[in-house]
């Protein structure tokens, strides 16, 4: 059994609701006010089973929309999920404003199948009917309802004339409609919310993709609330599951009626993110005024409606009848996915001016990359997957992230990735996929990061993974996978938490570190009575060259201070000396060599270079044979 959603479209009073009733026996006008005023205000529903041309059963769900120009927004809430449109034109009135507007909307939403129905045939003579038919044929020329490939059926809902032919045409066209994908990830745009006695919260909608089963958990967008499906109904009958393309009612647990509204969307939990921005391809109707950059519009997608700003990519305005790439910036968060169709209406006065398709629902805020949109617009799923991964640079993307960005199933994504991986365009690192060129750059920067670290820290065995990760800005799992790659290629070595270049042995480093400690201790414990440097170095385990390197390092780090060719002091001893002089100053502003020797306990051999050092450091100033303490 195949399920197809049939929508009506057309000007007010042209007989849409009457036609649906004549076909199905169901009055889609369910509101008391609708019955009283004799017009449709909100969308209504009906259903019909027809035998298809190949003997299969076609299950048609009807969405009957209002024709009144004030209720176009309700019409938009209904038209989002339709597969096939019945464009209803009354033979006694021919084409009217909402005939055009509804037809424009269907074209902008890329509805591809339909039947044009000339109603009220009983109300006109044959001549008038011929004239109207000519007008209508002219109107449809070149569109998806072009009369050369799409039927025009003349009916009277009053007398029943033409109804058998219409049913036949419906069966034929419905059989041609490609079935919606019930294996895809489920999305149900909510069009009605109400309480049913004994059941609680019920929502209805046209299931645009996937399957929803009893007991499924779903997430409400926006808002993120979780709900459980207590019961499913399809076309008013209890069912175990609803499939894409079916009018669906769900009895929901875990949510109050007040928390739900038309415009929200149900989808699998923890899979998608609501967005406030979407990059789109936008077409402006030729009947519209030019649309300026940053113009505010009413945005309609499925059952949702909100205000959005249209930011153009590079252009100052879109001209009537033209297409452009744009970023929609919404006033509210909503769930949109690439491929979703939308309509925009002028802010004021409110008329339909255009529509288009979402290319990217996770765009950067200020991307100037029109070419990226062109690729998303025209590329194959393989290229799009590759491009999305490349865009994330060092971060790459996981399969769940790709699902969230594209709405595709994990299996499809893996299939799209297979060839790129085989060709080396894409590499898998841990759970992430990175672009090949990015991996090359990353490889270089990791090796050069480690090399630079060794150069700056000759006495440390290696760089810690965390430090390296910060240096190259990449997720831990990507670094781990890169390190696996680089160690297998013998470009790096990993020991515990440390990463190093091959050959920078730890044993060697331990000796150096030990020697460094020995030197430091020798000088810090000596105070001002420092030993000769060559004596200290001679006692070390490391060779002369490396000992000299360690000293250079200690001097660079100002742990040791060289005050003459022969004399090296620990910085703490010199610090202490400054303290002693400051204390001495409180007794006497001046000091001579003798007093200095007395104060510090050093011999003349040390006292002279130390005082000269203090002069250089402007701790003292020589005046004759004495020093003024500054």
Ligand X SMILES: Nc1nc2c(ncn2[C@@H]2O[C@H](COP(=O)(O)OP(=O)(O)OP(=O)(O)O)[C@@H](O)[C@H]2O)c(=O)[nH]1
Residue 424 binding: pick among ligand X, Mg ion, none (C-beta 5-8 Å cut-off by kind): none
For ligand X, which is the closer residue by CB, 62 or 569? Answer: 62
Q: How far apart are CA 578 and CA 599, in angstroms?
A: 12
Residue 13 binding: pick among ligand X, Mg ion, none (C-beta 5-8 Å cut-off by kind): ligand X
Residue 156 binding: pick among ligand X, Mg ion, none (C-beta 5-8 Å cut-off by kind): ligand X
- Which one, of 138, 41, 144, lies nearest residue 84 by Cα? 144
Nearest-approach distance from CB 68 to ligand X, in angstroms: 6
Query: Phi and psi at residue 375, in whole multiples of 5°?
Result: -65, -45
Residue 3 binding: pick among ligand X, Mg ion, none (C-beta 5-8 Å cut-off by kind): none
Nearest-approach distance from CB 64 to ligand X, in angstroms: 7
For ligand X, which is the closer residue by CB, 86 or 573? Answer: 86
Three-state secondary structure call for residue 231: strand
Nearest-approach distance from CB 90 to Mg ion, in angstroms: 12
For ligand X, which is the closer residue by CB, 20 or 310? Answer: 20
Q: Report the sign of the C-alpha dihedral through residues 615, 618, 619, 625, in that order.
A: positive
Nearest-approach distance from CB 13 to ligand X, in angstroms: 4
DSSP string, 508-539: HHHHHHHHHHHHHHHHHHHTTSPPPHHHHHHT
For Mg ion, which is the closer residue by CB, 123 or 375? Answer: 123
Do the Cβ atoms of 251 and 334 come closer than 8 Å? no
Nearest-approach distance from CB 160 to ligand X, in angstroms: 9
For ligand X, which is the closer residue by CB, 39 or 593? Answer: 39
Torsion angle, alpha carbons of 302, 304, 306, 312, to 10: -20
Nearest-approach distance from CB 165 to Mg ion, in angstroms: 22
Residue 123 binding: pick among ligand X, Mg ion, none (C-beta 5-8 Å cut-off by kind): ligand X
For ligand X, which is the closer residue by CB, 102 or 627? Answer: 102
Nearest-approach distance from CB 93 to ligand X, in angstroms: 10
- Which one, of 355, 232, 231, 240, lies nearest residue 287 by Cα? 355
Contacts to Mg ion by CB under 5 A = 16-17, 40
> CA dist 524 to 210, 226, 491, 527, 582, Å?
75, 66, 40, 6, 21
Nearest-approach distance from CB 89 to ligand X, in angstroms: 10
For ligand X, which is the closer residue by CB, 122 or 181? Answer: 122
Residue nearest to ligand X as judged by C-beta position: 67
Tell me whether residue 83 is exposed, middle or buried, using C-beta atoms within 10 angstroms of its C-beta: 0 to 12, 13 to 18, 19 or more.
buried
Q: Return the bridge partners of 7, or none.
A: 63, 85
Nearest-approach distance from CB 38 to ligand X, in angstroms: 6
Q: How far apart are CA 612 and CA 615, in angstroms?
A: 5
Residue 407 binding: pick among Mg ion, ligand X, none (C-beta 5-8 Å cut-off by kind): none
Tell me whether residue 242 is exposed, middle or buried, using C-beta atoms within 10 angstroms of its C-beta: 0 to 12, 13 to 18, 19 or more.
buried
- Which one, of 172, 170, 153, lies nearest residue 161 by Cα? 153
Contacts to ligand X by CB under 6 A = 10, 12-18, 38-40, 66-68, 119-120, 122-123, 156-158
For Mg ion, which is the closer residue by CB, 47 or 435? Answer: 47
Six-digit token pair at 315? 């252009």
- Which one, of 357, 356, 2, lies nearest residue 177 by Cα? 2
For ligand X, which is the closer residue by CB, 104 or 279? Answer: 104
């Amino acid at each position: 059994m195949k399920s197809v959603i049939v929508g009506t479209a057309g000007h007010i009073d042209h007989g849409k609701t009457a036609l649906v009733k004549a076909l199905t026996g169901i009055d889609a006008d369910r509101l008391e006010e609708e019955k009283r005023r004799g017009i449709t205000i909100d969308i209504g529903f009906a259903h019909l089973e027809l035998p298809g041309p190949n003997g299969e059963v076609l299950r048609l769900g009807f969405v009957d929309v209002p024709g009144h120009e004030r209720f176009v927004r309700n019409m938009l809430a209904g038209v989002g999920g339709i597969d096939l449109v019945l464009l209803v034109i009354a033979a006694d009135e021919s084409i009217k404003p909402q005939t055009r507007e509804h037809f424009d909307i269907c074209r902008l939403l890329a509805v591809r199948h339909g039947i044009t129905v000339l109603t009220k045939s009983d109300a006109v003579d044959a001549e008038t009917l011929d004239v109207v038919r000519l007008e209508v044929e002219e109107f449809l020329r070149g569109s998806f309802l072009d009369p050369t490939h799409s039927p025009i059926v003349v009916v009277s809902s009053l007398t029943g004339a033409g109804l058998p032919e219409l049913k036949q045409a419906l069966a034929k066209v419905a059989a041609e409609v490609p079935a919606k994908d019930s294996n895809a990830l489920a999305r149900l745009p909510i069009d009605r919310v109400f309480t049913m006695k004994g059941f609680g919260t019920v929502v209805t909608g046209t299931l645009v993709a996937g399957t929803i089963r009893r007991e499924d958990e779903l997430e409400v967008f926006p808002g993120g609330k979780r709900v459980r499906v207590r019961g499913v109904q399809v076309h008013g009958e209890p069912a175990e599951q609803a499939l894409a393309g079916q009018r669906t009612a769900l009895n929901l647990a875990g949510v109050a009626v007040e928390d739900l509204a038309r415009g929200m969307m149900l989808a699998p939990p923890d899979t998608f993110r609501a967005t406030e921005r979407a990059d789109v391809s936008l077409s402006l109707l030729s009947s519209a005024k030019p649309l300026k950059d940053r113009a505010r519009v009413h945005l309609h997608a499925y059952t949702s409606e909100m205000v959005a700003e249209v930011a153009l990519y590079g252009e100052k305005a879109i001209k009537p009848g033209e297409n452009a790439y744009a970023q929609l910036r919404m006033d509210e968060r909503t769930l949109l996915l690439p491929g979703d169709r939308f309509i925009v209406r002028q802010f004021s006065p409110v008329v339909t001016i255009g529509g288009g398709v979402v290319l990217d629902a996770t765009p950067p805020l200020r991307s100037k990359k029109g070419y990226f949109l062109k690729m998303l617009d025209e590329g194959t799923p393989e290229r799009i997957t590759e491009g999305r991964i490349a865009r994330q640079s060092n971060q790459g993307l996981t399969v769940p992230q790709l699902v969230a960005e594209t709405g595709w199933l994990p299996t499809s994504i893996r299939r799209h990735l297979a060839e790129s991986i085989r060709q080396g365009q894409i590499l898998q690192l841990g759970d992430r996929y990175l672009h090949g060129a990015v991996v090359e750059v990353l490889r270089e920067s990791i090796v050069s990061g480690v090399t630079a670290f060794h150069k700056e820290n000759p006495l440390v065995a290696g760089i810690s993974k965390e430090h390296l990760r910060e240096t190259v800005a990449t997720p831990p799992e990507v670094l781990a996978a890169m390190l696996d790659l680089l160690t297998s290629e013998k470009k790096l070595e990993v020991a515990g938490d440390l990463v190093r270049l091959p050959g920078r042995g730890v044993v060697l480093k331990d000796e150096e570190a030990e020697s460094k400690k020995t030197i430091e201790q020798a000088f810090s414990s000596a105070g001002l009575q420092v030993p000769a440097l060559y004596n200290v170095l001679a006692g070390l385990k490391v060779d002369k060259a490396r000992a000299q390197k360690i000293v250079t390092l200690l001097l660079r780090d100002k742990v040791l201070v060289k005050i003459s060719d022969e004399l090296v002091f620990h910085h703490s001893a010199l610090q202490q000396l400054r303290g002693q002089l400051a204390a001495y100053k409180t007794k006497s502003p001046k000091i001579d060599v003798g007093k200095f020797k007395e104060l510090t306990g050093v011999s003349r051999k040390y006292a002279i270079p130390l005082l000269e050092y203090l002069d250089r450091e402007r701790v003292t100033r020589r005046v004759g044979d004495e020093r003024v303490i500054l």
